[in-house]
A and B are shown apart, each in its own frame.
Chain A
Amino acid sequence: MTAHANHSEENKSLRPQEGPKRHIITFIVSIFLTALAFFAVAYMPESPFVIPFIVLIGLIQAGFQLYVWMHLDQKGHEFPTLGIWMGVFFVAAFIIVFIYWLGGY
């Protein structure tokens, strides 16, 4: 613990230079994308592109959550990244099997 005390000055300079700015920008973009998805469904429910469009928006938002808010973009997150992408792989397999192979309902 004395080591900590000795390095406290050094630690200050190492303290992550983070501000709320990046997160607030991501938040505003997230809200904007969400609004876009809701408007697309409210005003163009007949369009054949509306489902791919809202799913794409959902994937972008998931990326924001993982890489900006949960810091997967920072160093030392190789295992978490591997874990999450493994999960995504299985989920994609589930969805394909349930809907296209078993034929859905």
Chain B
Amino acid sequence: MSTEVSTNLPPHPEKATLEGKNKVLGFWLFLGGEVILFGSLFATFIALRTAFGSGPASQELFSLPLTAVATFILLTSSLFSVLGIQAMHRNDLSGVLKWFGITVLFGLAFLGLEIYEFFEYVHEGHTMSSGAFGSAFYTLVGFHGAHVLGGVCWITGLLSKLPKKGLNVVTAPKLYVASLYWHFIDLVWVFIFTVVYLMGKVG
């Protein structure tokens, strides 16, 4: 039975079963909650973004090239996860592994940049306790970074099982939901680079 399912993948395998449908809907509900979570962190950050305390001001702190590179990496990884889902719709297992694998690598590159960035900031006196700006900054950007790390672990876990389990109506919703999560992380980053970095640079 399992071989039959895997060779005859339905057109929309992520929603071919009731369980798959419910999984996708449930995940959207989770994303609705995430919108509120990040929204409240954004509101806090916007309200406190000029309370520099003893730390440096955002205009001198932020480096636009570093943020631009991080943004490019994350936007590109979002494209790769879409290509991974399209490979899944074509029942192309090696394509799924390739595109989601690259997505994970780009996610790791983004995390590396973020860790380097935080190290630099701490050396410049911008810490969690240097002022309300510092607290709000690390809470918001750190929460996003933790989501990226979560996504990297999640997708890696799915990919490690995929060669054995294959593409079917059980594994397809899992991949689809992981790609939704990855796009959502990217969506949050769009607002982080706009509100935190670009608006911080403008002052």
Contacts and interface: CB of A to CB of B under 8 A. Distances in A.
B78 A15 contact: no
Contacts, number: 152
Contacts of A97: 43
Given A84-B32, A105-B48, A91 B39 contact: yes
A15 B193 CA distance: 37
A84 B36 CA distance: 9
B8 interface: yes
Contact of A38 (B10, B75, B180, B198): B198
Given A4-B10, A18-B86, A90 B36 contact: yes
A34 B75 contact: yes
Prevailing SS type, chain A contact patch: helix
B5 interface: yes
Interface residues of A, number: 53
Interface string A3-21: 0110010010011101110
B43 to A, nearest CB: 4
Interface string B2-18: 00110010111001000
Contacts of A87: 31-36, 39
B135 to A, nearest CB: 12
Interface centre among B46, B89, B180, B190 (most CB of A within 10 A): B190
A54 B75 contact: no
Nearest to B5: A1
A71 to B, nearest CB: 9
Interface centre among B34, B68, B194, B195 (most CB of A within 10 A): B194
B186 A16 contact: no
Given A11-B11, A42-B64, A79 B184 contact: no
A87 B195 CA distance: 18
Contacts of A98: 43-44, 46-47
Contacts of A99: 43, 46-47
Nearest to B182: A69
Contact of A41 (B31, B195, B201): B201
B43 A57 contact: no
B75 A70 contact: no
Interface of B: 1, 4-5, 8, 10-12, 15, 25, 28-29, 31-36, 38-40, 42-44, 46-51, 64, 67-68, 71-72, 75-76, 78-79, 82-83, 86, 89, 132, 180, 183-184, 186-187, 190-191, 193-195, 198-199, 201-203
10 contacts: A4-B8, A20-B86, A34-B72, A41-B64, A83-B32, A84-B31, A86-B32, A90-B39, A91-B40, A102-B47
